[in-house]
Homo-oligomer: A and B are copies of this chain.
Amino acid sequence: MLVFGHMNPDTDTIVSAIAYADLASKLGKDAKAVAQGAVTPESAYVLEKFGLATPEVVTSVAGQQVAVVDTTELSQLPSDIGEAEVVAVVDHHKLGDLATSQPLEMWVWPVGCTGTVLKNMYDFYNVEIPKGIAGAMMCAILSDTVMFKSVTCTDADKKAVEALAKIAGVADPMEIGLEMFKVKSAVDGTPIRELVFRDYKDFDMDGNGVGIGQLEVVDGAMLLPLVDDLYADIAKVKEEKGHHTVILMLTDIMKEGSEILYVTDDKAVFKKAFGIDAADKSFWMQGCMSRKKQIVPDFQGKAFK
């Protein structure tokens, strides 16, 4: 069985695939964590720190048994997923358009991170979490919840981090979290396209292609010299993909908000989705830290109605 998460894998997708594969193996299944693409610098830092191997890249899964973590959106899964047998899903997002032809096991919770669901699955199945995997899961939760600052963060996430830190022998999770976000924030010398795609997802919204990326930095000021290049590149992405709208959230962790950089066929989508008269090229959304909870639902539900 192959275990993987979404395209443009983030730390939660990578670590949750590793954790689920570990759990499934210990429950007697033959399971291997893979990824649909190269890991981010943040994930590389986490894997290195906790001594875990980087999952091999696999993008075709026809004929295989698979378990999917951290998404149920077909647009974020291998194009031949329909020819695979999906036996399990672990996720924390809205329910997407993945469907199966056989009954399966699904654990989906409205929490900040798939890692939190997996922590509870290990407990449910009475399986011990290996020290290294526990540390990486702790980091995945800190990353997805922006160190508990995201509106997506729940008590279950905080409890899981506390328990996982104990297992991993980490005295101060926040210290590692900040270190991790500094790695994530590093933009010097990174190609612009890589920044745009660092945490990027495509959606089909009422027949309109929409791309939404998010770039989280500890201090938004460090992105100022790059904004023009980032803007030019999302315009290119929009053209290449034939999308209606491409958004790049420049999320400032300290200020707890996001500058929404965008290219669109019709600015009215922002008025319809958020009630905002968008300035040209970008606008600020105070308190907006979560694509999943603060951008996608309103955009999907209202922008094209």
A103→B94 contact, CB < 8 A: yes
Return the chain B residue nearest A292 by Cβ: B103
- With A89-B95, A95-B89, A95-B100 as given contacts, are A105 and B106 in contact (CB-CB < 8 Å)? no
Q: Which of B72, B86, B87, B109 contacts A105 (CB 8 A)?
A: B109
B96→A103 contact, CB < 8 A: no
A104→B110 contact, CB < 8 A: yes
Smallest CB separation, A103 vs chain B (Å): 4
Asked if A175 is an interface residue, CB under 8 A from chain B, the answer is no
- With A94-B101, A96-B99, A99-B94 as given contacts, are A107 and B110 in contact (CB-CB < 8 Å)? no
A-B contact pairs, 17 of them (CB 8 A): A86-B95, A87-B110, A89-B108, A93-B103, A94-B102, A94-B103, A95-B104, A96-B99, A97-B97, A101-B297, A101-B300, A103-B110, A103-B111, A105-B108, A106-B106, A106-B107, A106-B108
Asked if A301 is an interface residue, CB under 8 A from chain B, the answer is yes
Return the chain B residue nearest A93 by Cβ: B103
A98→B95 contact, CB < 8 A: yes
Asked if A182 is an interface residue, CB under 8 A from chain B, the answer is no
A92→B103 contact, CB < 8 A: yes
Return the chain B residue nearest A112 by Cβ: B103
Smallest CB separation, A77 vs chain B (Å): 13
Return the chain B residue nearest A111 by Cβ: B103
Residues of chain A from 134 to 169 with CB closer than 8 A to chain B in the complex: 152
Residues of chain A from 27 to 50 with CB closer than 8 A to chain B in the complex: none
Q: 9 tightest CB-CB pairs across the interface, nearest first?
A: A106-B108, A103-B110, A95-B100, A94-B100, A101-B297, A101-B301, A106-B106, A95-B99, A105-B109
Return the chain B residue nearest A152 by Cβ: B103
Asked if A272 is an interface residue, CB under 8 A from chain B, the answer is no
Q: Which residues of B contact A100 (CB under 8 A)?
A: 94-95
Smallest CB separation, A272 vs chain B (Å): 14
Smallest CB separation, A171 vs chain B (Å): 30
CA distance A111 to B105 in the complex (A): 9
Asked if A267 is an interface residue, CB under 8 A from chain B, the answer is no
Specify which of A102, A105, A110, A297 lies most central, judged by the most chain B CB atoms within 10 Å of its CB: A102
Q: Which of B87, B101, B108, B293 contacts A104 (CB 8 A)?
A: B108
Return the chain B residue nearest A96 by Cβ: B99
CA distance A239 to B103 in the complex (A): 30
Q: Which of B98, B103, B110, B152 contacts A293 (CB 8 A)?
A: B103
Smallest CB separation, A66 vs chain B (Å): 13
Q: Which residues of B contact A96 (CB under 8 A)?
A: 99
Residues of chain A from 100 to 126 with CB closer than 8 A to chain B in the complex: 100-111, 124
